[in-house]
């Protein structure tokens, strides 16, 4: 299996008759999935998602793919194809369309409905084309065919991309649930037909490649939810992704069976389920759904709240409930169900919310103590099936952390794909398909783009480091006034600290040393304020490290008078 080298150089121009594949997100992380295909100077994009921040990225709202690679080539983009409606596949679309609003968006009915609602909030009216399984479209040099796949959201599609360079299958997110709630299974007959036709390159979902066997059925969750509902004494709160239509359907069915009313909590949950119900993907039992504002009109034993926040997001409904910062409250006798899996990196945030809810007296049911969620991704056994059916000429694992990609590549090799034809790439690594062979051609710059409030791409890694230091180590400000002609210290130095456990008086011990350092700089002649500030920073920094065992952010200020 070929690994990207850390010193990869920019790729040369695409070879004549070759197809270039450049992932801009989703390889090396679970989120912000985006892949660019280039043939004959034209570009096709599959998915454009977001990544949610981790604890070491304070203040960040979202993380986008790096669009710099496309900045000078926006007019070359034929379309964006969306495989399904999860945020890690569609959340970045508004930010791409800010650069060119008329890029055509292709996707299934539900996926387009979700992205159109999102784009409306950004005041963008997109150019869309609804497609369904079995449908084919020709966009420039790209012949597209869409294949039904089963996932944890309805209407998922794999996409076949045909060019003179060869046939590519991008599976999108998928699993092979043989008893799906909506009866829509992954179309293995189409996969077999493609295998007979010949798949030159398969880009395959890696998320569960480390998990042996087969992913459990969605139907297995129904009886578990029924049992939890039967035992619950007070109100029930269920947390899930705002787009998990199947899970909401199961909650509605269980609530109707146990004569409970359901209120949706969270703007995105209300919006998405309204869309799903309008389009017929969600069947709401009559009289079951109520407005959250009327929840107090019903006894807690007769209510269910369907909320966002299953990943511990600070501003989502469940986190705010745990922090007593929401109109909804929980306490003894209430039951909270986490009906989703843990996205890698979110563990601490989720456990923090679980602990907060249990501190309030609630019973918490989660994947660790009950089967209240099954994954939406194919496990190793299913991936082996797919490779044996497709018999691809080359494999490029996608969607996952490095460990997932490596595990997926190993599965392909087990089924007979030559190891040298399994390409393990990361974000930004360009892979060329030429004469039926996929090879790494180089790498393009591809960093994280942070959305922080209204700013996009303004926050750098260095600034995030400053935020972490401020949050973890504290802040010290040192101020002194010096005579402009003599350099003599007139006022100060004064020290103020924030985020430190110590009282400011603890710094009195270091003030004589700071003054001595300033006088020493002045005594050398030709001293400027910058040199004085650096001298103060060094003295205080060494003292804080030795005495306080801290490395705070130190801001020295010298004013000439």
What is the pLDDT at residue 215?
93
What is the pLDDT at residue 426?
93
What is the pLDDT at residue 515?
81
Question: What tokens were used for 204?
Answer: 């395959």
Separation of alpha carbons 129 and 118, rounded Å: 16
- Any binding-site annotation on 375? yes
Half-sphere exposure at residue 405, Cβ-oriented, CA atoms within 13 angstroms: 24
What pLDDT band is residue 373 in, cutting at 50, 70 and 90?
Answer: confident
- Any binding-site annotation on 374? yes
In tens, the pLDDT along 212-222 reads 999 999 888 88
Separation of alpha carbons 422 and 373, rounded Å: 32
Q: What is the 3-state secondary structure (H, E, C) of 281-346?
A: CCCCCCCCEECHHHHHHCCHHHEEEEECCCCCCCCCHHHHHHCCCCCCCCCCCCEEEECCCCCCCC
In tens, the pLDDT along 61-105 reads 678 899 999 999 999 999 999 999 999 999 999 999 999 999 999
Instruction: Report which of 271, 244, 265 is spatially closest to residue 120, judged by C-alpha positions.
Output: 271
Question: What tokens were used for 465?
Answer: 């480091």
If DSSP codes are grouped into helix, strand and coil, which group holds residue 79? strand
Separation of alpha carbons 86 and 173, rounded Å: 10
What is the pTM assigned to this prediction? 0.80
Return all residues near 485 (Cβ < 8 A) that are at least 6 apart.
none
Separation of alpha carbons 331 and 359, rounded Å: 9
Please identify which residue in the block is written with the tokens 């409030």: 453
Q: What does the DSSP assignment read for 444-508?
A: -----EEEETTEES---HHHHHHHHHHHHT-EEEEEEEE-TTT--EEEEEEEEEES-SS-GGGGG
Instruction: With residue 353 as reference, give the H or E element that holds it.
Output: helix 347-359
- Any binding-site annotation on 373? yes
| 365, 338 contact by CB (below 8 A) | yes
Instruction: With residue 220 as reference, give the H or E element that holds it.
Output: none
If DSSP codes are grouped into helix, strand and coil, which group holds residue 182? coil
* Range in 138-147, 214-223, 240-249, 302-311 with the lowest mean pLDDT: 302-311
Residue 407 to residues 1, 22, 87, 209, 435: CA-CA distances in angstroms?
11, 21, 25, 6, 27
Please identify which residue in the block is written with the tokens 């089924």: 415
What share of the chain has pLDDT > 70, as a percent?
A: 89
- Any binding-site annotation on 17? no
Question: What tokens were used for 46?
Answer: 């599959």
Please identify which residue in the block is written with the tokens 């039967």: 230
- Any binding-site annotation on 21? no
In tens, the pLDDT along 278-310 reads 999 999 999 899 988 888 889 999 999 998 876
Q: State yes or no: pLDDT of 548 exceeds 80.
A: no
What pLDDT band is residue 540 in, cutting at 50, 70 and 90?
Answer: confident
What is the pLDDT at residue 53?
67
In tens, the pLDDT along 120-136 reads 988 999 999 999 999 99
């Amino acid at each position: 299996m070929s690994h990207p080298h850390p010193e990869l150089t920019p790729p040369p121009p695409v070879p004549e008759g070759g197809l270039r594949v450049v992932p801009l997100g989703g390889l090396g992380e679970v989120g912000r999935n985006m892949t660019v295909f280039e043939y004959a100077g034209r570009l096709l994009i599959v998915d454009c998602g977001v990544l949610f921040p981790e604890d070491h990225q304070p203040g960040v709202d979202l993380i986008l793919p790096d669009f710099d690679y496309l900045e000078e080539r926006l007019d070359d983009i034929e379309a964006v194809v969306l495989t399904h409606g999860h945020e890690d596949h569609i959340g970045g679309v508004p930010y791409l369309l800010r650069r060119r609003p008329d890029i055509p968006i292709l996707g299934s009915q539900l996926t387009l409905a979700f992205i159109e609602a999102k784009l409306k909030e950004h005041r963008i009216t997109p150019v869309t084309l609804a497609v369904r399984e079995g449908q084919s479209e020709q966009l420039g040099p790209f012949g597209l065919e869409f294949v039904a796949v089963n996932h944890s959201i309805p209407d998922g599609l794999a996409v076949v991309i045909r060019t003179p360079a060869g046939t590519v299958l991008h599976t999108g997110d998928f699993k092979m649930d043989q008893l799906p709630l909506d009866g829509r299974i992954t179309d293995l007959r189409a996969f077999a037909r493609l295998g007979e036709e010949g798949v030159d390159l398969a880009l395959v979902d890696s998320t569960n490649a480390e998990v042996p066997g087969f992913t459990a059925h969605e139907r297995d969750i129904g009886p578990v939810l029924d049992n939890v509902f039967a035992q619950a004494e007070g109100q029930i709160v269920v947390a899930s992704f705002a787009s998990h239509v199947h899970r909401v359907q199961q909650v509605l069915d269980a609530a109707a069976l146990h004569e409970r009313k359901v209120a949706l909590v969270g703007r995105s949950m209300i919006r998405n389920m309204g869309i799903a119900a309008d389009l017929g993907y969600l069947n709401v039992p009559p009289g079951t759904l109520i407005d959250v504002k009327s929840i107090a009109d019903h006894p807690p034993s007769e209510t269910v709240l369907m909320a966002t926040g299953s990943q511990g997001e600070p501003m989502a409904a469940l986190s705010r409930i745990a922090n007593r910062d929401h109109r909804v409250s929980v306490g003894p006798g209430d039951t909270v169900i986490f009906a989703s899996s843990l996205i890698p990196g979110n563990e601490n945030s989720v456990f923090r919310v679980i602990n907060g809810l249990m501190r309030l007296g609630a019973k918490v049911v989660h994947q660790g103590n009950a089967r209240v969620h099954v994954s939406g991704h194919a496990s190793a056994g299913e991936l082996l099936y797919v490779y044996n059916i497709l018999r691809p000429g080359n494999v490029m694992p996608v969607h996952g952390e490095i460990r997932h990609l490596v595990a997926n590549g190993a599965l392909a090799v087990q089924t007979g794909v030559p190891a040298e034809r399994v390409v393990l790439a990361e974000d930004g690594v360009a892979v060329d398909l030429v004469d039926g062979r996929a090879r790494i051609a180089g790498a393009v710059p591809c960093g994280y783009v942070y959305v922080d409030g209204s700013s996009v791409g303004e926050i750098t890694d260095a600034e995030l480091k400053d935020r972490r230091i401020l949050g973890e180590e504290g802040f010290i400000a040192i101020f002194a006034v010096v005579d402009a002609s003599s350099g003599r210290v007139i006022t100060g130095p004064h020290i103020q600290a924030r985020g430190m456990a110590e009282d400011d008086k603890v710094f009195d011990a270091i003030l004589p040393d700071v003054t001595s350092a300033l006088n020493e700089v002045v005594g050398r002649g030709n001293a400027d304020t910058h040199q004085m500030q650096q001298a103060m920073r060094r003295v205080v920094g060494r003292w804080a490290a030795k005495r306080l065992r801290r490395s705070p952010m130190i801001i020295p200020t010298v004013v000439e008078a």
